[in-house]
């Protein structure tokens, strides 16, 4: 089964906590603190695997989690960092943030990768807090939580030739005849619901990849029918075979409809070279339409062929002509539409203060990290946290905003009571 979309929840590993320890050996006076730092949590990484062709695995396994870091130990032993989790995706996968809709990355090239969730930092052990005036600290830090986010994955099929046309034009039948692909084919009104890929062997040496994707209807560029679920798969093809249904009421009207939808969706799609093919030449209706279609395409300076996918009439010449055209076309543009590194430059020291109904909210990367990594049950750690807030300018900003003794101040997940 082919799946071209999936929702994936990713959670990076939490950092290990620092250790409180003091060196105590019989013949070593004044051993001092030797608590080691915790290890960093593992990242979640998406990486292109050219052997993959579908996102089906992640519909069955929608949650991915990286390993957490080990806690620090005595003897200045740092905890082991958590192992990264690598998620394999097929080439052509676009990655979006499910909540904001922002495109985070576009993974096209073999081996291309992107970190979608970063592991948390390891907390420091008490050996890291030793100073000339505090030679026996009992302060330590818990590990930082790893990032967690929900991703939307969308696969754009990468093929040399895309088959376009109205539903029931015979695209699936043609693909099944010229390749080993076995798409679902029925004798009743029916349209393909998922893209199918097939390798077409032109001769003993040459071949190309053909994609049969869901049929278009009028209004598809606005999302009607399968809409964008179809059109995004055509964007990365080099050549289009525009298949017309010879048994339709008006194949030429269908031709105009499909081209109009392609142009409304993307100028790049409308500019792709096409071979127009009238199918079902084994039927009298198609035979009657062929002179009209041939004349109309001549007026439009478009190349036209007549075939019967069922009987095989005209199929081999069509394939040879398609391969000849491919040889004259530039390689498909597979430049990623979004960078592989999507982390924007941001000022981690910046923060904002907001007035809430029942208190105040402080937001900022660094200040929230400091709050999350402070064990408030230790008086020494709480005092250090207050000094850090003052050094970052948070205390002064709250005072200027009008905070009063007894007010509630929220920083990240922590809820604190303001005391001057």
In this model, does residue 213 exceed pLDDT 50? yes
Let me know the angle formed at the C-alpha of 321 by 318 and 322, rounded to the nearest 5 degrees.
85
Q: Are strands 196-201 and 274-279 parallel, antiparallel or unpaired?
A: unpaired
Exposure class string for 209-245: b at 16+ Cβ within 10 A, else e: bbbbbbbbbeebbeeebbbebbbbbbbbbbbbbbbbb
| Residues 27 and 67: beta-carbon distance below 8 Å | no
**Each residue's pLDDT tens digit, 82-113:** 999 999 998 888 899 998 888 888 888 888 88
Domain 352-417: give its CATH architecture.
2-Layer Sandwich (3.30)
Please determine, for residue 225, whether its predicted confidence score (pLDDT) is greater than 50.
Answer: no
Where exactly are the structural domains of the chain?
Answer: 1-155, 161-328, 352-417
Taking only the tens place, the pLDDT of each residue in 384-404 is: 899 999 999 999 999 999 999
CATH (residue range 1-155): 2.70.210.12
Least-confidence region, from 223-237, 253-267, 350-364: 223-237
Quick one: 161-328 is in which CATH superfamily?
P-loop containing nucleotide triphosphate hydrolases (3.40.50.300)
Q: To the nearest whole percent, how much of the chain has pLDDT over 70?
A: 85
């Amino acid at each position: 089964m082919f799946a071209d979309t999936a929702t994936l929840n990713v959670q990076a590993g939490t950092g290990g906590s620092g250790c409180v320890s003091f060196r105590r050996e019989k013949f070593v006076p004044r051993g001092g603190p030797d608590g080691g730092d915790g290890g960093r949590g593992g990242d979640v990484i998406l990486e292109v695997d050219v052997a993959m062709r579908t996102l089906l695995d992640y519909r069955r396994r929608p949650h991915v989690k990286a390993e957490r870091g080990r806690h620090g130990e005595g003897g200045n032993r740092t905890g082991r960092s958590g192992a990264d989790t690598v998620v394999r995706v097929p080439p052509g996968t676009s990655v979006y943030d499910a909540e904001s809709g922002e495109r985070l990355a576009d993974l096209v090239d073999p081996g291309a990768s992107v970190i979608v969730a970063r592991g948390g930092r390891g907390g420091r052990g008490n050996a890291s807090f030793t100073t000339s005036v505090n030679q026996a600290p009992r302060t330590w830090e818990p590990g930082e939580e790893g990032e967690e986010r929900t991703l939307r994955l969308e696969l754009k099929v990468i093929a040399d030739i895309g088959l376009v046309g109205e539903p029931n034009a015979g695209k699936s039948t043609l693909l099944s005849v010229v390749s080993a692909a076995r798409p679902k084919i029925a004798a009743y009104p029916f349209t393909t619901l998922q893209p199918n890929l097939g390798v077409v062997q032109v001769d003993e040496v040459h071949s190309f990849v053909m994609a049969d994707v869901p049929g278009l209807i009028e209004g598809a560029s606005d999302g009607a029918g399968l809409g964008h679920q179809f059109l995004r798969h055509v964007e990365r093809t080099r050549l289009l075979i525009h298949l017309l249904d010879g048994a339709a009421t008006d194949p030429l009207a269908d031709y105009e409809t499909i081209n109009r939808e392609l142009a409304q969706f993307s100028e790049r799609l409308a500019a792709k070279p096409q071979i127009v093919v009238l199918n079902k030449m084994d039927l009298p209706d198609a035979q009657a339409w062929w002179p009209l279609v041939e004349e109309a395409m001549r007026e439009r300076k478009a190349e036209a062929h007549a075939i019967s996918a069922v009987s095989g009439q005209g199929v081999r010449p069509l394939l040879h002509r398609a391969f000849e055209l491919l040889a004259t076309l530039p390689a498909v543009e597979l430049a990623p539409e979004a960078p592989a590194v999507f982390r924007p430059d941001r000022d981690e020291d910046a923060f904002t203060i907001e007035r809430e109904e029942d208190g105040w909210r402080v937001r900022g990367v660094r200040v929230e990290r400091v709050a999350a990594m402070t064990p408030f049950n230790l008086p020494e750690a709480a005092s250090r946290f207050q000094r850090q807030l003052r050094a970052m300018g948070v205390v002064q900003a709250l005072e200027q905003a009008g905070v009063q003794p007894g007010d509630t101040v929220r920083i990240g997940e922590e809820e604190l009571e303001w005391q001057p």
